[in-house]
Amino acid sequence: MKKTTAALTIASLLGSTVAAVAEQCTNETWNKIQERGTIVVGVKADTKPWGFRGENGDLIGMEADMAKEVADTLGVELELVGVQSSNRMQFLEGGRIDLMIATMSDRTDRREIVGVVGPNYYSSGTNIMAPKALGIDEWSDLEGKPVCGKQGAFYNQIIEDRYGAQIVAFTGNAEAKQALRDRKCIAWVYDDSVIAADLASGNFDDFEMPLTSEDDNPWGLAVPIAERNCVFGRFMSGMQYNWHQSGDLIALEEKWGIQATAYLQRENERFKDWLAE
């Protein structure tokens, strides 16, 4: 009797250990990708030049190119799904997409929902576009003034709290910039790299980006949270490490006409192969 109990206890203990390990790494998504021979990647459809639509409706951009490289490395087909800031994490959680590369700032609360793996592939700061005529040169100049922004950007709240600006949030950047031209607000707050691209386009010659960027925030791509420390997560870490080391991200930045960021340059040097000369 005693023996049986002991055996049962050991068996159940073993069983639970196996179950625990199995629970840690089922590699469900990873295996699913292999099985169907296609990886479904969520990218933005409304954020040029990272993820946007070509004239035939295909999703293109820097992050779409990164997704393509992931698919090629895996040797599977690529399927892109357009996601929005409001649903990108839900899509990943619900299994609609396998991988998310969608201009997401890497924040603590987000890491509890999706499996963000390092090293971060990009980083951007917050800045404003304002008419040159206003001569804004400090963030504190925004106090009590209406400032246009895009709905869902995490820094809208920060700018309001820190500098007392009154954020007027629009659904799209075109609407926000139209409002800026119509003088409904004194500035448009957004990612510094996007503002730089707009200024370089020659369509905003009377405007400037007068402040030092704030809240430099790394971006994170994400796998389903259960697979953060499993094959898929480790694989994506390796992809990002390689992108940084090879300088691929810098090349992509140039390809899509994004102003070179110091962050990518820094990471490229940090991960440099010390034997290669």
Residues in contact with another protein, shown as a per-residue x/- string from 53 to 82 under the rule CB under 8 A: xxxxx------------------------x
Cα 149 to Cα 238: distance, rounded to the nearest angstrom: 35
Pick 53 or 111: Cβ nearer another protein: 53
Nearest approach, Cβ of 168 to another protein (angstroms)?
15
Among residues 166, 208, 198, 202, which one has the least CA distance to residue 184? 166
How many of the chain's residues bind another protein (CB under 8 A)? 33
User: Is 87 among the residues that bind another protein (CB under 8 A)?
Assistant: yes
Q: Which residue shows structure tokens 């950047």?
A: 173
Query: Nearest distance from residue 45's CB to another protein, in Å?
Result: 5
Q: Which of 213, 212, 136 is nearest to 180 (CA)?
A: 136
- Region of 2-10, 20-28, 175-183, 245-253 interacting with another protein (CB under 8 A): 175-183
d(CA 123, CA 87): 21
Which residue number, 112 or 273, has a Cβ lying nearer to another protein?
112
| Smallest gap from residue 254 Cβ to another protein (A) | 18
CB closer to another protein, 109 vs 205: 205
Tell whether residue 151 is a contact of another protein (CB under 8 A).
Answer: no
| 77: three-class secondary structure by DSSP | strand
Best CA proximity match to 191, nearest among 220, 157, 215, 162: 215
Question: To the nearest whole angstrom, how small is the minimum distance from the Cβ of residue 228 to another protein?
Answer: 20
Cβ closest to another protein, residue 102 vs residue 117: 102
Nearer to another protein, 178 or 213 (CB): 178
Q: Which one of 4, 35, 144, 202 is in contact with another protein (CB under 8 A)?
A: 202
Using rule CB under 8 A, residue 104 touches another protein: no
Distances in whole angstroms, Cα of residue 130 to Cα of each of 27, 110, 170, 223, 270: 49, 31, 17, 38, 35
186 vs 147: CA distance, rounded Å? 6
Q: Is 39 left (phi over 0), alpha (psi -120 to 50) or beta?
A: beta
Residue among 41 and 117 whose Cβ is closer to another protein: 41
165 to each of 92, 97, 155, 157, 175, how far by Cα in Å? 34, 37, 12, 9, 19
Residues of the shown chain interacting with another protein in the complex, contacts defined by CB under 8 A: 45-48, 52-57, 82, 84, 86-87, 90, 93-96, 171-175, 177-178, 181, 198, 201-203, 205-206
